[in-house]
Amino acid sequence: MKKNFGRIVLTGILVLALLVVTGCGKSNDAGEQGSDSGKLSGTITVAGSTSVQPFSEVLAEEFQAVNTGVTVNVQGGGSSQGVEAVISGAAQIGAASRDLKDEEKARANLVVTPIALDGVAVVVNPANKVSALTAEDIKNIYIGNIKNWQELGGEDAPITIISREEGSGTRDAFSEIVLNKEDIVKDAIIQNSTGAVKTGVAGDKNAIGYISMAKVDQAVKALRVDGVEANEANVKNGSYKVQRPFIYITNGEPQGLSKAFIEYVLSDEGQSIISEEGAFSIQ
C-alpha cells in the first residue's frame, strides 16, 4: 500500500510537471510564429496595467480584424505583473502605466515603447464649491497640513482624503509629481481601482481623490491645478503637470508578431483608437 501510494504521488507530480512544461512551451512558441511570411499568424499575449488594459483590448480587436490569422490575448494584473510576465515569458508584451523601476531594468534586457499619455485628474464632488487648487494646496491636503475645506474657500467640513494603494501607477505618478514623494497621511481612505475612487468621491461631498483623466465624467469634478484646466491639450503641451506614460515592454527589441502589433499601435490608426478611448496619443 505504501509503495503504491508513493508511485501514485510520483505520477501526480509528473502529470503536474507535464502540464506546466507544455503550458510554458506553448506560450514561448507562440510569440515567434508568423514573422517572415507575408500573412501574419499566431498568438501573442499582452499583460499588465489595468489602466492600459481597456486600450489594449480595443487595439487587439482592431488588429485581429485586419490580420485574421492572429490572436492577441489581453490580460490585466497590474503594471508589475506585466513586467513579471514579460520576463518569465508568459506574455510577449507587458503593459505598464509607469516608467520601469531600476530593479526591473536590471533583471532583463527590457525595451520600452511609450504608446500613449494619460493625465491624472484631481477630483472632488460636484457639490464642492472649490474648483481650482494649487499643486501646493493639494500636497498639503494629502500630507495632512490642510484638514478642512474652509481653509481653501469651501464649506466648513473636514476633508475626506481618498487615495490609491501603494504600488499603483496612478499613485506613483501623483505622489512623484504633486507630493514630491512625501508620505500620504496614514488615515486616508485607500481604494484599489479608479472606479472605487470615483464612487467614493461621487458619494461623499467632502471627498477629494485622483483618477485617470480618461475616467472623469459628470459624477465628479476635475480641479484646475495651478490654474491649468485638466484636458488633453494641456497634458500634451506639458502645462498640466500631473500626467504619466502608458508603455509597452518587450524582452529585447520587439520581434515578429509583437513588432507588428506595436507598429500598429503606434500607427495613425492605432493612435486614433487610443484617443477615442480616452487617453492621449503619443505624437
Partner 1 sequence: MEEALQNQKINILAPTNQLSANHSHSRRRRGEKAIEKILVLCAAIFILAIFLITLFIFAKGMPLIAKIGLGDFLFNTQWSPTKGMYGIGSMFIGSVLITLGALIWTVPLGLSTAILMAEIAPPRIGTILGNLINLLAGIPSVVYGFIGLIVIVPFIRENLGGNGMSLLAGAIILGIMILPTLINISRDSLLAVPREYKEGSLALGATHFQTISRVMVPAAKSGIITAVVLGMGRAIGETMAVVMVTGNAAIIPGSILEPVRTMTSNIVLEMGYASGDHQTALFATGMVLFVFIVILNLSINLFAKGGQGIGRN
Binding pattern for the stretch 151-170 against partner 1, x by CB under 8 A and - elsewhere: ---------x----xxxxx-
Closer to partner 1 at the Cβ: 143 or 189? Answer: 189
- Considering only residues 167 through 196, tell me which ones interact with partner 1, judged by CB under 8 A: 167-169, 172, 183, 186-192, 196
Least distance in angstroms from the C-beta of 168 to partner 1: 5
Closer to partner 1 at the Cβ: 104 or 137? Answer: 104
Q: Does 127 bind partner 1 (CB under 8 A)?
A: no
Q: Does 224 bind partner 1 (CB under 8 A)?
A: no
Least distance in angstroms from the C-beta of 147 to partner 1: 13
Q: Does 148 bind partner 1 (CB under 8 A)?
A: no
Least distance in angstroms from the C-beta of 276 to partner 1: 26
Is 110:104 a contact under the CB 8 Å cutoff? yes
Closer to partner 1 at the Cβ: 96 or 273? Answer: 96
Among 59, 83, 86, 282, binds partner 1 (CB under 8 A): 83
Options 22-30, 100-108, 113-121, 225-233: segment touching partner 1 (CB under 8 A): 100-108
Least distance in angstroms from the C-beta of 154 to partner 1: 16
Among 42, 119, 200, 256, binds partner 1 (CB under 8 A): 200
Q: Does 12 bind partner 1 (CB under 8 A)?
A: yes
Q: What is the DSSP string of the chain?
A: -HHHHHHHHHHHHHHHHHHHHHHHHHHHHHHHSSSSSSS--EEEEEEE-TTTHHHHHHHHHHHHHHSTTEEEEEEEE-HHHHHHHHHHTS-SEEEESSPPPHHHHTTS-EEEEEEEEEEEEEEE-TT-S--EE-HHHHHHHHTTS--BGGGGTS-S-B-EEEEEPTT-HHHHHHHHHTSTTPPPPTTSEEESSHHHHHHHHHH-TTEEEEEEGGG--TTSEEPEETTB--SHHHHHTT-S--EEEEEEEEESS--HHHHHHHHHHHSHHHHHHHHHHTSEE--
Q: Does 79 bind partner 1 (CB under 8 A)?
A: yes
Query: Who's near 205: CB < 8 A, 6+ residues apart?
Result: 125, 127, 128, 157
Q: Does 13 bind partner 1 (CB under 8 A)?
A: yes
Site residues (vs partner 1, CB under 8 A): 1, 4-5, 8-9, 11-13, 15-16, 50, 76-81, 83-84, 101, 103-104, 160, 165-169, 172, 183, 186-192, 196, 199-200, 203-204, 207
